[in-house]
Amino acid sequence: MDEKTRIYEYWLAGISSLSDRKKIWLQTEYKSAEAVYYIEETELCRLDILTEKDRKVLRDRRRETRKNMKETWEKLVQEGIWFLTCFDERYPKRLKKIEDPPYALYGKGRLPDEENLSAAIVGARGCTVYGERLALEYGKILAQNGVAVISGLARGIDGAGQRGALNGGGYTCGVLGCGVDICYPREHIGLYMDIQKAGGLVSEFPPGRKPFSSNFPRRNRIISGLADVVLVMEARKKSGSLITADLALEQGKDVYALPGPVNSPLSEGCNLLIRQGAGILLSPEDLLKELGIQNKRLGKKSDKNEIMLESPENIVYSCLGLYPEGMDQLAAETGLAIPELLRTLVSLQMKGLVTEVSRNYYVKTCCD
């Protein structure tokens, strides 16, 4: 596609008040964005699909000169941001199938491979250690087996799943609720940079668009749209993750949920999904079987932790999991006196096998 065509499409994409449906209709009807730019006034007034506000916006935006349009386009290219519309053959086929596909996408890095399976990993920002560790594990194992991990680069579950994919040497795509030139949240700058090298960042919002709260529910349809299955790791009863799950179901995708404690607010949404018929996430290996993928890691899991541990350490380590346990509970389970239990926990922490997530509450550290 030549630069002139791109410039006019970039111009049309930049009219934020005009819906994606109307942009797609206009370009389909008039064969090109350039033809939309040059619609005559009498013709414009006859288009019932447009409101008076739409017509005014188009009139105002058509005052933009070709020179200004070209300068804006060149700035985009200089920033290393790619741009394509749903009329481009490189546009993701999965997105074309959803009810309300974005007219245009902006990105850095590369898009998911159309031939490979993809899974969205979504969940709470303020997640538990249990949810975070399992998101990391699922992301890693899925990526090691060639499954693209799709998520929103958010705090908590999203970021953990995507970091896991990178740790597994695989591909991950971050779908942003702002321009791709903005890292949000800022503390994920390292992840933001790493994904550009080994995966891709995608947004329907133009560069410079700030992360307004209204952007995020809308971008969720792209997360589910790019995925073949959606994994909800932790979610409250009313959350963006459940919106993504609902969108996935509307798009005909399978949804899986991680079961959690019945008294945890962060597991209410997942447990509700399971009750409604969602698949249950019991282990990454089990999920791979359901997806028809042979696990490349079978037979490679190390038991080095057990070999290295002395008897009291073994007892304590075997009682811990990914959900925090307190001192009293551990003492009851292990039969160890508190002083000996404390010494054992400190030893396990020094070996990197156990983490104290809050005062006197411990979890097993994920290790391969």
Q: Specify the pLDDT at position 308.
A: 53
Residue 208 CA to residue 204 CA, distance in Å, equals: 12
Strands, E, within the chain: which ranges? Answer: 82-85, 104-109, 118-122, 148-151, 172-175, 200-203, 229-232, 254-257, 279-280, 325-326, 354-358, 361-364
Q: Specify the pLDDT at position 366.
A: 59
DSSP state of 80: T
CA neighbor of 220 nearest in space, from 83, 120, 96: 120
Query: Is 97 within 8 Å of 251 (Cβ atoms)?
Result: yes
pTM to 2 decimals?
0.83
Q: Which two tokens mark 229?
A: 């299955």
CA 138 vs CA 16, 107, 164, 281, 365: distances in Å: 37, 25, 7, 10, 15
Q: Specify the pLDDT at position 310.
A: 63
Residue 85 CA to residue 205 CA, distance in Å, equals: 12
Residue 361 pairs with which residues in a beta bridge? 326, 358
Q: Per-10-residue mean pLDDT for the chain, 368 residues long?
A: 93 96 97 96 94 95 87 95 97 95 98 96 94 95 97 96 96 98 96 96 97 94 97 93 94 95 92 95 94 70 48 87 84 90 88 82 71
Burial class (CB in 10 A: 0-12, 13-18, 19+), 352: exposed
Q: Which two tokens mark 180?
A: 């791709």
Q: What is the pLDDT of residues 112-131, one digit of tens each?
A: 999 999 999 999 999 998 99
Burial class (CB in 10 A: 0-12, 13-18, 19+), 197: exposed
Is the bond into 207 cis (omega within 30 degrees of 0)?
no
Q: Is the dihedral of CA 341, 347, 349, 353 positive or negative?
A: negative
Local structure of 168: helix, strand or coil = coil
Query: Is 105 within 8 Å of 202 (Cβ atoms)?
Result: yes
Q: What are phi and psi of 109, to 5 degrees?
A: 80, -150
- Which residues are CB-contacts of 97 (< 8 A; sequence separation ≥ 6)? 225, 251
